[in-house]
Amino acid sequence: MSQSEIILTVENVDPVALFGENNNKLNLIRKSYPDTVITSRGSLLKITGKKKDTQSVKETVETMVKLLRERKELSLQTVEELLLGENPYQAHVPPNESKVVLVHGRDGKVIYAKTRNQQLLVDASSQNDVVFAIGPAGTGKTYTAVAIAVRALKNKEVKKIILTRPAVEAGESLGFLPGDLKEKIDPYLRPLYDALDDMIPAERLQQFMLNRVIEIAPLAFMRGRTLDHAFIILDEAQNCTPLQIKMFLTRLGPYAKCIITGDLSQIDLPYNLISGLRPATKMLQNIHGIATIYLTHEDVVRHRLVKDILKAYEKSDQGRRRKDEEE
């Protein structure tokens, strides 16, 4: 195969942000294309090797530049995904091929749906008042739901946001944790705080929470209330009993919207209790104004290995179910 040489000019991006400290991102590309010589000098990148390889390197670098310009950041993991053929620019765009910005977060961070199913969740929430978002860990269920709620608050579509979770131990016991009730429960609510921290400046978030414009509380605190003109998120709903989900859904006022998230593969309820999440989605599936979106391992936006880990567990669970059926 004939040799090829490409001179690529990289402009309007920081070379260190693009190629990494000590060229660690560029070295990943070199490792993936060992027969290609890649040299960088200032804004110029020289790529020499087989025509097919030089073209692939050129396309990879151009995608890196595009991602860096749009997202203002480019992680080592993203470069790894590109080199594995999981192009995050192509694979993570919404169905209409354009990114719809949900909110501008802290430090100018642009927050948008990163996968097709996340975009389906955004669309379903705009068309329905109650949405179930079901999927495994790392698929962005909670994060996307919080972004949708923050957008609704900023657009004055709602007057407040209420985020809630059942305080169910995942192998730990509340009684043995130090502190008062709030200090014991707060760790369960931490993912909700983390998502908000990403989207709202610290001072403003503190003000919102003091004024109860944003409220984070365990599910038990919802009993007896009517939640109106609010966007409510029930997170980790797989750890709710059928009665708890019924209680939550019947709190909704006439101008409320909600998203219920859950992972049916991670139920932490005691063995004598059943999860109310799956029965609720089946029972309510034909009601106008209620939608269910299913996310899969293809929507995982954490470390690239999380996707493979979920696949392995899924395969193991299927084998165990088949064995149980045979017995």
| Overall number of domains in the chain | 2
Express each pLDDT in 270-308 by its tens digit. Answer: 888 899 999 999 999 999 999 999 998 778 765 667 667
What is the rounded distance in angstroms from the CA atom of residue 201 to the CA atom of residue 197? Answer: 7
Residue 287 lies in a domain: yes
Residue 326 lies in a domain: no
Residue 147 lies in a domain: yes
Q: Which of 66, 90, 114 is the last residue of a domain?
A: 90
Helix (H, G, I), strand (E, B) or coil at 176: helix
Highest mean pLDDT pick, 4-13, 74-83, 164-173: 4-13
Q: Are residues 80 and 100 in the same domain?
A: no
Q: What pLDDT sits at residue 306?
A: 67
Rounded average pLDDT over 229-245: 94
Q: Are residues 188 and 244 in the same domain?
A: yes
The alpha helices in the chain, defined as continuous H runs, are: 15-19, 24-32, 51-71, 76-83, 88-91, 116-127, 141-154, 181-199, 202-210, 242-249, 277-283, 304-326
Q: Are residues 38 and 100 in the same domain?
A: no
- Please report, for the domain that includes residue 256, its CATH number: 3.40.50.300
Task: Give the number of other CB atoms < 10 A from CB of residue 81.
Answer: 17
Q: What pLDDT sits at residue 184?
A: 56
Confidence category of residue 245, pLDDT binned at 50, 70, 90: very high
- Please report, for the domain that includes residue 38, its CATH number: 3.30.1370.10
Q: Are residues 54 and 109 in the same domain?
A: no
Residue 301 lies in a domain: yes
Residue 300 lies in a domain: yes
Q: Are residues 134 and 62 in the same domain?
A: no
Q: Is 276 left (phi over 0), alpha (psi -120 to 50) or beta?
A: alpha
Rounded average pLDDT over 242-261: 94
More confident residue, 241 or 189: 241
Q: What pLDDT sits at residue 177?
A: 46
Q: Identify any residues that bridge with 234 across adjacent strands, giving them in sequence order.
A: 164, 260
Q: Are residues 241 and 125 in the same domain?
A: yes
- Is the pLDDT at 92 greater than 60? The verdict is no
Q: Are residues 256 and 175 in the same domain?
A: yes
Q: Which of 90, 114, 133 is the last residue of a domain?
A: 90
Question: What angle do the packed helices 141-154 and 116-127 form, to 10 degrees?
Answer: 40
Task: Give the number of other CB atoms < 10 A from CB of residue 14.
Answer: 10
Q: Are residues 131 and 267 in the same domain?
A: yes
Averaged confidence pLDDT in the chain: 82
What's the DSSP call for residue 239? G
Q: Are residues 253 and 155 in the same domain?
A: yes
Residue 327 lies in a domain: no
Q: What pLDDT sits at residue 108?
A: 65
Comparing 12-26, 105-119, 270-284, which segment has the lowest mean pLDDT?
105-119
What is the rounded distance in angstroms from the CA atom of residue 229 to the CA atom of residue 245? Answer: 20
- Is the pLDDT at 93 greater than 50? The verdict is no
Q: Are residues 153 and 29 in the same domain?
A: no
Confidence category of residue 269, pLDDT binned at 50, 70, 90: confident
What is the rounded distance in angstroms from the CA atom of residue 258 to the CA atom of residue 112? Answer: 19
Q: What pLDDT sits at residue 255?
A: 92
User: Residue 41: phi, psi to the nearest 5?
Assistant: -145, 105
116 to 63, 264, 297: CA distances (angstroms): 19, 21, 12
Rounded average pLDDT over 139-146: 92
Residue 76 domain boundaries: 3-90
Residue 231 lies in a domain: yes
Which residue in the block uniquely carries the two structure tokens 């004598």?
272
Q: What pLDDT sits at residue 190?
A: 79
- The radius of gyration of the chain from alpha carbons, rounded to an integer in Å, stands at 23
What is the rounded distance in angstroms from the CA atom of residue 146 to the CA atom of residue 149? Answer: 5
| Alpha-carbon torsion (174, 176, 177, 181), positive or negative | positive
Q: Which of 90, 118, 147 is the last residue of a domain?
A: 90
Q: Are residues 84 and 108 in the same domain?
A: no
Q: Are residues 312 and 223 in the same domain?
A: yes
Helix (H, G, I), strand (E, B) or coil at 298: helix
Q: Show the tokens assigned to 291.
A: 């939608």
